[in-house]
Chain A
């Protein structure tokens, strides 16, 4: 028998002793272990129930919050500006914009066209 086998046998003996000692625990200790287990299981059930109830109210609350946020954002975008439309920079952009000049030129043309039609 080699050293490893001897060690394994020795460890096996100790394991046997330890197993025997757990099988013969006195009833009071067994009862307390059972009570501890029951308490632990009750605690986990309680905790689980709380977790399950959590999404129900958070879903309703979250939905309400999201709806309110969307409405606020929507109204904020559509509120007419109270600022005067004569800011210098904006005016400058309007004056220098090529599209605007074309528009006024076209406007002249449409006036002339309308006058011609009236004459006829």
Chain B
């Protein structure tokens, strides 16, 4: 006997709904599509293994909790790796090497995604969001984009609600400064 068909369908729908946003969140953090895809895949596997049997209403918080945890792990590993490469004198050699966003400018036939990023406003927003500190960006994307409330965001990021408020408000303030033209446009 396998996993109940209803549950499988619900899980499939849920993952299909969140996967693209999850990918973008991972892309903002890793700046690399392949790494981002790996992060999302790991998050999906872990989420399914651990939380598929939990009530459907809890899935968004649990899924993003797993994803944010993966992103944080990746961030830590990457920081250590960069330091080691820094000591070895290889510095920023590989940074942006595989970054699809960095490759966009060289693309002769840009797709719709690249076109979105290539527009002046799109590129500015992309860069502004990427420039936010990791925790501020996570709080902003979870609150403003994913629509989680403060308590849910705090559960995802494993911190207090006060911290979420601070991160979110700083993120919005920074974005408004960086995107002043669009903020008033």
Contacts and interface: CB of A to CB of B under 8 A. Distances in A.
Provide the main secondary structure of the chain A interface. helix
Contacts of B15: 37, 40-41
B129 interface: yes
Contacts of B19: 33, 36-37
* Chain A: number of interface residues, binned into ranges: 20 to 34
A7 B177 CA distance: 12
A32 B24 CA distance: 14
A17 interface: yes
7 contacts: A10-B175, A10-B179, A10-B182, A14-B144, A26-B113, A33-B23, A37-B19
Contacts of B115: 24
Nearest to A19: B145
B122 A44 contact: no
A10 B176 contact: yes
Interface of B: 1-3, 8, 11-12, 15-16, 19-21, 23-24, 33, 37, 40-41, 44-45, 47-49, 52, 111-117, 121-122, 125-126, 129, 141, 144-145, 172, 175-176, 179, 182-183
B160 to A, nearest CB: 22
Most buried by A among B23, B40, B115, B182: B23
Given A15-B144, A44-B49, A36 B37 contact: yes
Contacts of A20: 116, 122
Contacts of B1: 49, 52
Given A21-B126, A29-B37, A41-B12, 15 more contacts: A10-B183, A11-B144, A13-B125, A14-B144, A17-B116, A18-B141, A18-B145, A23-B112, A25-B23, A33-B37, A36-B44, A37-B12, A40-B47, A47-B49, A48-B2
A6 B172 CA distance: 11
A26 B33 CA distance: 11
A17 to B, nearest CB: 5
A40 B11 CA distance: 10
A97 interface: no
Nearest to B44: A40
A11 B2 contact: no
B86 to A, nearest CB: 31
A22 B40 CA distance: 14
B164 to A, nearest CB: 15
A91 interface: no
A11 B49 contact: no
A6 B49 CA distance: 42
A40 B41 contact: yes
A45 B2 contact: yes
A100 interface: no
B20 A22 contact: yes
A43 interface: yes
